[in-house]
Amino acid sequence: KAGVTQTPRYLIKTRGQQVTLSCSPISGHRSVSWYQQTPGQGLQFLFEYFSETQRNKGNFPGRFSGRQFSNSRSEMNVSTLELGDSALYLCASSSGQLDEQYFGPGTRLTVT
Amino acid sequence: GQQVMQIPQYQHVQEGEDFTTYCNSSTTLSNIQWYKQRPGGHPVFLIQLVKSGEVKKQKRLTFQFGEAKKNSSLHITATQTTDVGTYFCAGPKSHSGAGSYQLTFGKGTKLSVIP
């Protein structure tokens, strides 16, 4: 089985721009979660999608949004980028809400 | 808010020494999961514990879930350089009610092994 894939792997943006990150889950997995990882805050939950519906949302501002398509692929969008948004964004898929998470390699976003 | 606390934050050990990381929750967890992230890599699932007092072993790794299902530990016997990385615990936390859960991660313990 192919693992979770994320594109792009690296991204450099300037403040005020917006960015869209993509995640393709493991085949058959309908749950996709997004996490932000920074050295200071660790792994923080952004949101979870299941069957194209946002099932859970973490404590992030509305500039962070996401969606899931009928094939379970997911995208997340960050608008009006701030320097503090620089982080590794990880996507994880699972077969159920409380099941083990399979993480992708992440997208390293740098905001200058 | 609901948190999962993990200690220590860092641990440096000589190769061959043992290592333990601890995870504590303020509320009862239905299960706890452990992940390992190698430097430059992404978290990889190690194990899930579900039952009160459960102990599971994977070669040199021993995982425990407390009787009250509020704490857990990961113990590595005779560390090797391949054990280097950050170890995370994670538990499902309900934030919006109605049976909706999200996986909340501890901040991890970064293990360095000196050869």
- State pLDDT tens for residues A26-80: 999 999 999 999 988 889 999 999 999 998 899 999 999 999 999 999 999 999 9
Decide: residue A59, CB within 10 A, 0-12 exposed, 13-18 middle, 19+ buried. exposed
Residue B86, pLDDT above cutoff 70 = yes
CA neighbours closer than 13 Å in the CB half-sphere of residue A108: 7
**Separation CA B14–CA A59 (nearest Å):** 39
Question: What are the CA-CA distances from residue B45 to residues A30, A90, A92, B87 (Å)?
Answer: 18, 14, 11, 10
Residue B65, pLDDT above cutoff 90 = yes
Residue B98, pLDDT above cutoff 90 = no
Are the C-beta atoms of residues A10 and A108 closer than 8 Å to each other?
A: yes
Contact A101 B101 (CB under 8 A): no
Chain A nearest C-alpha distance from B42 (Å):
6
Residue A17, pLDDT above cutoff 60 = yes
Does the beta carbon of A55 lie under 8 angstroms from any beta carbon of chain B? Answer: yes
Contact B101 A103 (CB under 8 A): no
Contact B33 A101 (CB under 8 A): yes
pLDDT confidence of residue B57 = 98
Residue B11, pLDDT above cutoff 90 = yes
pLDDT confidence of residue B95 = 61
Are the C-beta atoms of residues A91 and A32 closer than 8 Å to each other?
A: yes
Residue B2, pLDDT above cutoff 80 = no
Query: Nearest-CA neighbor of B87 among B4, B28, B30?
Result: B4
